[in-house]
Structure 1
Amino acid sequence: MIAIIGGSGMNKLSGLEELHRQIMRTPYGEPSSPLLFGTINGQEIVFLSRHGYGHTIPPHAVNYRANMWALNALQADRVIAIASVGGIRADMIPGKIVIPDQIIDYTYDRKFTYFDGTDKAVTHTDFTQPYCPIGRASILRAARHAGESVIDGGVYAATQGPRLETEAEINRLERDGADMVGMTGMPETILARELGLSYATIAAVANHAAGRGESTQAVPLETVYTVLEESMVHVRNILEHLVQDYGD
């Protein structure tokens, strides 16, 4: 079964024929929202809204451990995370869809591992390739079948939020090799790896990062939301083909 995590711009999944909802409890508390089970093109999927259905949970307060634990308990064999990002690299302009292949973690004070109890052995998880290559390949294949243009690869910088970054901070991220910036990539990505989940991200560029683009002024939030709405049409198209390809 494919699990889809919706982020900003995708609190609900249109095209989903809802079957039932399930409230889950985990050793780490409750997930961000009830798990929504349904079908797309006849294929069963489960949907989780990362920020809650009312988009009330800020990035630093998301219960990432509960979210990923719940999806693992449901035996999801592929997790596709949707994220909105700011574009740093010149070609990552608003409206572009990116399938990142690397990540840099700048977050702090988040519950970032399942192996932090004194009753557990010290565990070092390989994170050389943070995103599942099979999951990434399935997204890229679905995008081709859907006729959607995506950027293959890019470095996601995960920042703390909920505030946006300064221009100086974006300059630093660029020097570090980051191509895009978001607030939810970590610890979600490493938690998926610790659980052995196949996890990959579809990133929708909602705006230029601070100091990038033609204008150095702050982008109005209304403009960001408009771009996200338009981008999610393309993301949903990719997801529909991804689910269809998975069932074939």
Structure 2
Amino acid sequence: MVEVAVIGGSGVYSLDFIENPEKTRITTPYGESPKVITGELENREVAFMPRHGKGHATPPHKINFRANLWGLKELGVERIIATTAVGSLNRKIEPGDFVLLDQFLDFTKKRPSTFYDGEDDGVVHVDMTDPYCSELRKVLLNKAKELKFSVHSAGTYACMEGPRFETAAEIKMLKKLGGDVVGMTNVPECVLARELEICYSTVSVVTNLAAGISEEKLTHDEVSEIMERNIEKVKKLIFSSIPEIPKTRSCKCDQALEGAKVEP
């Protein structure tokens, strides 16, 4: 049974530290997952899934988040560490910094965001007061500090639909609403993980200053360049954090559905 999964975002398309790797693709009620690499890391069963598929083939608004998360659940995954590339809304959060998210703002428009669509699936109102697993965030924060990486212990992620970058007015709005970073993929991914009672935490890598804050044209080339410059640090943080994750969960992520289901 796979214990820990890593979901790689922009720039994170493989993890070379997985031992005895095997590739698999999982068929779910929601479609087929991208190819997942399963293997071992210091006697822990782990998996790696590229969120955008091979070669970043799938844009953010077309990612089949439900198939991705359901597939990992079928592997037995209880913990997920995800990576995201983000733009900064705060000049104190600079390109190259890591942010361990603790809140999000959702501005997505047309993505299926729940496994519970009513009728046969039932209705669930899951609590998202604290969207990210506190236990995983603590492990990642302690390890990032130990490695002397520039890390922010908390941050609010504003999720936009994409695939375009935001306007300067949108960024101004998000900043006033309390956003710290902006991206296109963390929602509904973290919500679906909660519905499956999977612990979930994100390492966000700041790749640029957002529109209207940056004086330069926003390009994906810039995102790729910063990610490439920091990819080894991302891998090192994840590689060194996974063995530190407690075998037994002490958080409440595995109780997410208690009291959440609407009983007819």
TM bracket, shorter-chain basis = over 0.9
Partner of 1:139: 140
Residues 15/173 of structure 1: CA separation in 2 closer, same or farther (3 Å cut): same
Aligned-pair CA distance for 1:120: 3.1
The alignment of Structure 1 onto Structure 2 pairs a total of residues equal to: 245
- Aligned counterparts, 1:1-248, within 5 A: 1-31=3-33, 33-213=34-214, 215=215, 217-246=216-245
User: Per the alignment, in what secondary structure is the counterpart of residue 119 of structure 1?
Assistant: helix
State the distance in 2 between where 1:43 and 1:120 align.
33
User: Per the alignment, in what secondary structure is the counterpart of residue 142 of structure 2?
Assistant: helix
Which range moves more in the overlay, 143-152 or 3-12?
Answer: 143-152
Contact map agreement 2:136 2:245 (CA 8 A) in 1: no
Aligned-pair CA distance for 1:13: 1.4
Aligned-pair CA distance for 1:16: 2.6
Contact map agreement 2:60 2:162 (CA 8 A) in 1: yes
Q: Deviations over 1:187-226 (max 9, x none)?
A: 101100111000010000011100114x2x3134333211
Which range moves more in the overlay, 110-119 or 165-174?
Answer: 110-119
Contact map agreement 1:16 1:38 (CA 8 A) in 2: yes
Amino acid at match of 1:27: P
Contact map agreement 2:115 2:192 (CA 8 A) in 1: yes
Gaps of 5+ in 1: none
Contact map agreement 1:96 1:231 (CA 8 A) in 2: no
State the distance in 1 between where 2:46 and 2:112 align.
27
Aligned-pair CA distance for 1:122: 2.1
RMSD of aligned alpha carbons? 1.5
Q: Deviations over 1:220-239 (max 9, x none)?
A: 43332111111222111111
Amino acid at match of 2:137: R
Aligned-pair CA distance for 1:42: 4.8
Amino acid at match of 1:236: K
Contact map agreement 1:157 1:179 (CA 8 A) in 2: yes
Residues 63/220 of structure 1: CA separation in 2 closer, same or farther (3 Å cut): closer
User: Per the alignment, in what secondary structure is the counterpart of residue 169 of structure 1?
Assistant: helix
Contact map agreement 2:99 2:203 (CA 8 A) in 1: yes
